[in-house]
């Protein structure tokens, strides 16, 4: 396919962007528009599907094909598009409420099937569109309009959920980190199979500074664990902390307290997701030492490939694949 020259402006629609001033969604939108321009595919080769929520306005702001679906159903719609039009780059833009509440079932099955779609979850740990109720990722004790005495729900860890469903590409970024966000978005585009990207996205109206420990000038170096393939996992202003495996679980220890051979060397291409899952459990949310970057980038059989092989096999068999033959094959009766 011919590579065309585009700019970010080519992917900006004529619709007014109606997010709150200062919302992290603006940065994510710019990152996606920049990436699509750099890829150089015709705009009609991109499809963006969304559900309900602030993030789900995304298709309106992109000059590509798109569909604003119903609450939680975007992965199902995207699956249908991906398996019937494998030539398209299919993206699901969703939020923590849309994806992990009513849409949780669709997310995990798209991931386990390894459908060739890219799911981007804007995680602001709150319901922003409906004005500040707690979400499936809100921390325990969160006081909101729907939990005035504090939420008693245990929150999801989206990266752990995706790894548990065996998504073949799993990453985490932060809205303020444009470089990392654009890198993982590009890798997701290049990856064949189900990609899941969680982006910590600040809602400055209903959940401001939720990710301050990872973004604040005085705290980010102490808490941000940057996952780099092939590199030992160390962090801190002077690399004074390291991550090791102990009793089957990832653990943060002072670097000087262990032999360098004990420090985990990150392998994002590992087929077995157990170490990546353990890394995702170092923090249950953006508090304290928290890994960001690519957790997993493994090869798995892509759903559409196997589906097409099955269709081709069936069509070669005489009488199989014909709907009339199938209906009258067995178990039919006549009603007088």
pLDDT digits (tens, 9 = 90+) for 85-110: 999 999 999 999 999 998 889 999 99
Question: Measured between alpha carbons, how far is 297 from 107 in angstroms, rounded to an integer?
Answer: 18
Q: Where do runs of H (alpha helix) occur along 122-235?
A: 158-164, 178-190, 212-215, 220-223
Distance CA 96, CA 110 (A): 16
pLDDT at residue 317 greater than cutoff 80? no
Among 125-134, 137-146, 285-294, top mean pLDDT goes to 285-294
pLDDT tier, 321 (very low <50, low <70, confident <90, very high otherwise): low
Q: What is the pLDDT of residue 323?
A: 72
pLDDT above 80: residue 18: yes
Q: For the chain, what is the mean pLDDT?
A: 93
- CA atoms within 13 A of residue 317's CA, in its CB half-sphere: 10
Ramachandran angles phi, psi of 6, nearest 5°: -130, 165
DSSP 8-state assignment for residue 317: S
Instruction: Cite the beta strand spans of 96-193 per DSSP E.
Output: 118-123, 169-174
Per residue in 213-235, pLDDT tens?
A: 999 999 999 999 999 999 999 99
Spatial neighbors of 278 by CB under 8 A, at least 6 apart, are 245, 248, 249, 250
User: 257-300, pLDDT tens digit by residue?
Assistant: 999 999 999 999 999 999 999 999 999 889 999 999 999 999 99
- pLDDT digits over 179-216, tens only? 999 999 999 999 999 999 999 999 999 999 999 999 99
Q: Provide the whole-model pTM.
A: 0.92
The domains of the chain, with CATH numbers, are: 1-210+301-336 (3.40.50.970), 211-294 (no CATH)
Residue 128 CA to residue 136 CA, distance in Å, equals: 13
């Amino acid at each position: 396919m011919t590579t065309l020259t585009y700019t970010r402006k080519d992917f900006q629609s004529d619709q007014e962007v109606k997010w709150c001033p200062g919302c992290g969604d603006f940065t994510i939108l710019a990152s996606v528009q920049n990436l699509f321009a750099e890829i150089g595919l015709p705009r009609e080769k991109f499809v963006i599907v969304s559900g309900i929520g602030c993030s789900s306005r995304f298709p309106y702001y992109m000059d590509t094909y798109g569909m604003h679906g119903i609450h939680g159903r975007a992965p199902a719609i995207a699956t249908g598009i991906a398996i019937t039009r494998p030539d398209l780059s299919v993206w699901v833009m969703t939020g923590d409420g849309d994806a992990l509440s009513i849409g949780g079932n669709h997310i995990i099955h798209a991931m386990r099937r390894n459908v060739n779609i890219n799911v981007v979850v804007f995680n602001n740990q709150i319901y922003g569109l409906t004005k500040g109720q707690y979400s499936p990722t809100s921390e325990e004790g969160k006081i909101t309009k729907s939990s005035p005495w504090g939420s008693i729900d245990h929150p999801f860890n989206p990266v752990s959920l995706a790894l548990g469903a065996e998504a073949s590409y799993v990453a985490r970024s932060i809205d303020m980190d444009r470089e990392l966000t654009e890198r993982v978005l590009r890798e997701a585009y290049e990856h064949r199979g189900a990609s899941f990207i969680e982006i910590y996205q600040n809602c400055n109206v209903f959940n401001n500074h939720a990710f301050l420990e990872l973004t604040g000038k005085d705290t980010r170096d102490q808490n941000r664990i940057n996952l780099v393939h092939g590199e030992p996992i160390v962090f801190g202003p002077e690399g004074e902390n390291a991550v090791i495996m102990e009793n089957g679980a990832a653990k943060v220890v002072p670097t000087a307290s262990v032999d360098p051979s004990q420090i985990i060397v990150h392998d994002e291409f590992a087929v077995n997701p157990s170490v990546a899952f353990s890394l995702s459990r170092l923090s249950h949310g953006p508090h304290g030492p928290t890994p960001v970057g690519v957790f997993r980038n493994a090869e798995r059989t892509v759903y559409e490939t196997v589906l097409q092989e099955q269709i081709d096999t069936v069509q070669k068999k005489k009488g199989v694949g014909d709907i009339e033959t199938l209906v009258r094959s067995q178990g039919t009766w006549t009603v007088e």
